[in-house]
Amino acid sequence: MPLEINGKKMRKIVLNSVLILGSLFLLTGCFRRVAPEGFGPTDLEQGLIAYDQGEWESAMKYFNNALEYNPDDTEALFKRGIIFQRLNKTDQAIQSYQQVLRVDRKHYKAHYNLGNLFSFEKGDTVQAVFHYRKFLASSPTHRNAREVRKKLADLTNVPGDKGLKHRDSARGKATRPLMPASTGVLVQPPTMTPLPLPLLTKKPIEMPLPQAAQAPLLMPSHFPQVVCLSGTVGEKQVEGSGFVIGRRGYLLASAHQVERTTRLMARFQDGSSHPATLLSVSEALDLALLQIPLQNVMPLVLDAKPSPPVGEAVVAVGCPFGLSHSATQGIISAPERKLGGKPLLQTDVAINPGSSGGPLMNAKGDVVGIIVGALPEAKGIAFALTSRKARHFLGETFLQIGTLFADAKRYDEAAEALSMSSEFWPNSPRTFNNLGEVFRRTKQFEKAKTAYVRAVSLDPQYADAHYNLGILYDNHLRDRSQAANHYRQYLDLDPDSPDALQVGQWLSAAEAAK
């Protein structure tokens, strides 16, 4: 005889069953490979345990699992780099450390390990110097700092690594170091190719100069200097815009579109595509400097004048929603505004996702701004960073690039980069001082004098430029009167310098020889 259950008991049993099944369903849906602390160690923790025990294969598996859920886990990326390094897989180690730096640019351990890899394994002095200096900047009191300073001295032939220094063969005099740029952070490229400096191909791809480059750009049909940028961040496709600002394939773009992008490509209006390397970014300005292996494309001109007046006609060119080389026309709606700490132009030009980084041009075809974006809930309100700020960013960036080239004794490339810095940043005494020093080292003494004189005319209190002019006149131009004049000015400006005693002796000798 079957058991009989009254209605009340039946409802209770059904309710309990539903609760139990629901709980099991929720647990099944939530219990994934990255276990909460209450259930056991995470993949990262299991990887660290295996790493401490020297079980590299097991540790690597767990670190890879952890990175599937969090691609920006710097601990997993860094430990994976160490494992690759210990297994003598140098390229994979470099790639992993570079991924760490894309997440955390001040990760001093990654800079230290990259410095060692580039120095000892790759023989790449430029990269090694760059990462050793970043390590010292981030962790100057680290126990390995003394060792790194000695290594830098060996790599740059500079005692104590005070910067670029050169012993003059005529009288054994030391020139002042090139002054590094204070802003504009050089970053690693998003590919495995370890080159944060400009790429110089042996057989550059050549594109004929556009004949219509001087024609007004107000709604033309062809934009040979504008590029559509594409790449990936994880599994997400990223698109943006940019444009050519230098004949050696230099591009200006928006930092937020390309900063963490891998497999970055630049596509021109004619359909040609080229891999792009990230050289430098400014998060504050949302700007990025890229380079592609393409030469002889006429660059767009960044307007150096003050902000355009309200009502001036402008055109924006970009790749909104991946639509190649779309142009929209409008006017300057408001003068320069301070928004988010950046000087921005307001315009009514139509802007959409993917337009960021494209040029905002006037009727002459000069770039007056770099597209930033539009207010999401407004119509006809878009913003562009002023060209003046972009020029400053490029000036400081090329100053830093030129200084790194000079560190590596690649003087032709250093002179080119510093000359570009002077074009974008004509009021920088540091740029002209460094350019003068590069010319002096390549025995172009008249050019060196012109550059040094420009530096002191921009800043008469610039002691280092007076020091360099003194040595140039003393050793190379044989003008002891001018040498004495600049030695004296140097001592007046920097009497407590460690070089003051030596300069005083040179001054006495120069005055006695007059």
Mean pLDDT of all residues in 36-56: 76
Give the Å distances, CA to CA, from 427 to 128, 368, 406, 423, 463.
Answer: 31, 19, 21, 9, 17
Looking at the DSSP bridge assignments, the partners of residue 275 are 265
- Classify domain 185-295 by CATH architecture: Beta Barrel (2.40)
Catalytic annotation present for 356: yes
Q: How far apart are CA 508 and CA 481, in angstroms?
A: 11
Catalytic annotation present for 286: yes
For residue 141, count CB atoms less than 10 angstroms from its CB and return exposed for 0-12, middle for 13-18, buried for 19 or more.
Answer: exposed
Looking at per-residue pLDDT, the higher value among 397 and 193 belongs to: 397
Say what the pLDDT of residue 287 is.
Answer: 92
Residue from 73, 124, 286, 464 carrying the catalytic annotation: 286
Mean pLDDT of all residues in 2-7: 43
pLDDT in tens, 177-189: 343 333 333 333 3
Give the residue from 411, 321, 310 showing the smallest Cα distance to 358.
321
Say what the pLDDT of residue 40 is.
Answer: 62
pLDDT band at 69 (very low <50, low <70, confident <90, very high): confident
Say what the pLDDT of residue 205 is.
Answer: 38
pLDDT band at 498 (very low <50, low <70, confident <90, very high): confident
Give the residue from 473, 470, 475, 474 showing the smallest Cα distance to 491.
470
> pLDDT averaged over the chain?
79
Q: First and final CA of the chain: distance in angstroms?
A: 131
pLDDT band at 223 (very low <50, low <70, confident <90, very high): confident
- Greatest alpha-carbon pair distance for the chain in Å reads 131
**Lookup result for tokens 């709980």:** 23
pLDDT in tens, 361-398: 998 889 999 999 887 777 888 899 999 999 999 999 99
**Lookup result for tokens 């790599």:** 155
Task: Give yes or no for a contact between 467 and 176, defined as CB atoms under 8 angstroms apart.
Answer: yes
Please work out, in degrees rounded to the nearest 5, the angle formed at the alpha carbon of residue 107 by the alpha carbons of 101 and 109. 110
Q: Give me 405's structure tokens.
A: 């080239």
| Superfamily (CATH H level) for 427-513 | Tetratricopeptide repeat domain (1.25.40.10)
Domain boundaries, the chain: 43-161, 185-295, 427-513
Residue from 254, 356, 421, 428 carrying the catalytic annotation: 356
Q: Give me 341's structure tokens.
A: 């700490």
Class of the CATH domain delimited by 43-161: mainly alpha
Catalytic annotation present for 256: yes
Say what the pLDDT of residue 188 is.
Answer: 32
Mean pLDDT of all residues in 486-490: 94
Give the residue from 261, 241, 264, 243 showing the smallest Cα distance to 252.
243
Say what the pLDDT of residue 52 is.
Answer: 82
Mean pLDDT of all residues in 32-54: 69
Task: Give yes or no for a contact between 455 and 424, defined as CB atoms under 8 angstroms apart.
Answer: no
Q: Give me 180's structure tokens.
A: 């590094």
Which of 71-75, 213-217, 233-237, 351-355 is least confident? 213-217
Single-letter residue type at 71: P
pLDDT in tens, 230-284: 888 777 888 899 999 998 899 999 988 887 788 899 999 888 999 998 888 888 8
For residue 65, how far is the Cα from the chain centroid? 30
Could you check whether 43-161 and 427-513 share the same CATH topology? Answer: yes
Which of 191-195, 361-365, 394-398, 412-416 is least confident? 191-195
Say what the pLDDT of residue 477 is.
Answer: 93
What is the pTM (predicted TM-score) of this model?
0.64
pLDDT of 440 over the 50 cut: yes
pLDDT in tens, 460-480: 999 999 999 999 999 999 999
Residue from 256, 274, 325, 486 carrying the catalytic annotation: 256
Task: Give yes or no for a contact between 508 and 206, defined as CB atoms under 8 angstroms apart.
Answer: no
Task: Give yes or no for a contact between 371 and 384, defined as CB atoms under 8 angstroms apart.
Answer: yes
Question: Can you say whether residue 105 is alpha, beta or left, with left for phi > 0 and alpha for psi between -120 and 50 degrees?
Answer: alpha
Say what the pLDDT of residue 467 is.
Answer: 95
pLDDT in tens, 292-334: 988 888 899 999 888 888 999 999 998 888 777 888 899 999 8
Strands 294-295 and 205-206: parallel
pLDDT band at 158 (very low <50, low <70, confident <90, very high): very low
Give the residue from 159, 75, 77, 145 showing the smallest Cα distance to 112.
145
Percentage of the chain surpassing pLDDT 70? 79
